[in-house]
Chains A and B, each alone.
Chain A
Amino acid sequence: MTGSISLVGYGLSAIGPAIAVGLIFAAYINGVARQPEARGMLQPIAILGFALAEALAIFGLVLFFIKS
């Protein structure tokens, strides 16, 4: 079996952003459930937060390619 151990590292590093994205959308769903009329205001905020948290996972992917 051959391969790069940094792939495992990337898998591990994806856990953090995954939890973060989950928390962000949990908060968004909570907010919309409590106040449905706030959806339009919450949506860009949620997507922005999602994009920023996801950037870390993307960094991991790129670092994996730099390393290997």
Chain B
Amino acid sequence: MSKRAAVVPSRGQHYTELIYDFARNSIARDMIGSKHFRPYLPLIFALFVFILFNNLAGIIPFLQLPTMSRIGFPIGLVLIVYVVYHFVGIKHMGVGGYFKHMVPPGLPGWVVPVVFLLELMTYFITRPLTLALRLFGNMFAGHMVLVVFIVGGWTLFTSDSIGLKFVALPAWLMAFVMTLFEGLVQFLQAFVFTLLTASYIAGALEDSH
């Protein structure tokens, strides 16, 4: 693609640049800041495109299974993100500094251990758990909704009662509407996953909380 890049872009180049611009400017630069975002750009762009296209497989006819509705795939992606943001934080601040920066400065002494425990849980348990489960849950639930309307419509259509055959039409209409809605959700989930990744990296890069 880059070999054929031209000053006057072709249609394909235009759309590629549109996606790249979105990942670069709206996600990486806005969350991490214009000074530090460059080294993380490949990761963020790759994550965004990979998740987006795997999600969109959920609404492409005859394929209709989002990859991320199998829990192993989100877990694999989250493992990468998990290692990256801890590594960045420890490289940036050192091990002691990294744990120190979890507690915001200026707290009274007796709250510090409580807040530290809470933040420790957030960094090591809640963040990867929610990141993986959000992507999995959304794709799985969306897939289930489509299955209910399409297969349910088929069951109604093949039933003996003539009245029930007509109910199949609204069910399939609903399946069509939900497919469009799923397209929106799938894009949004790819966006949210990458946005949160960028925000975790940005949090690990901050000098003080």
Contact = CB atoms under 8 A, between A and B. Distances in A.
A58 B31 CA distance: 24
A48 B130 contact: no
Interface stretch (B2-10, B84-92, B103-111, B134-142): B134-142
A62 B31 contact: no
B196 A62 contact: no
A51 B192 contact: yes
A23 interface: no
Question: How many of chain B's residues touch chain A, expressed as a range?
Answer: 10 to 19
Given A51-B134, A55-B133, A58-B130, A44 B31 contact: yes
B199 interface: yes
Contacts of A54: 134
- Dominant SS among interface residues on chain A: helix
B134 A48 contact: no
B51 to A, nearest CB: 14
B195 A62 contact: no
Contact of B191 (A47, A55, A57, A59): A47
A62 B192 contact: no
A59 B31 contact: no
A48 B192 CA distance: 7
A37 B89 CA distance: 33
Interface in B160-206: 188, 191-192, 195-196, 199
Contacts of B140: 61
Interface string A39-68: 010001001101110110111011000000
Interface in B42-61: none
A48 B199 contact: yes
Contact of A61 (B137, B191, B199): B137
A47 B134 contact: no
A47 B192 contact: yes
Contacts of B26: 44
Nearest to A65: B140
Query: By CB atoms of chain B within 10 A, which of A51, A52, A54, A61 has the most?
Result: A51
B196 A61 contact: no
B30 interface: yes
Contacts of B134: 51, 54-55, 58
Given A44-B31, A55-B133, A61 B141 contact: yes
B137 A48 contact: no
A62 B191 CA distance: 22
Given A44-B30, A44-B31, A59 B195 contact: no
A51 B191 CA distance: 10
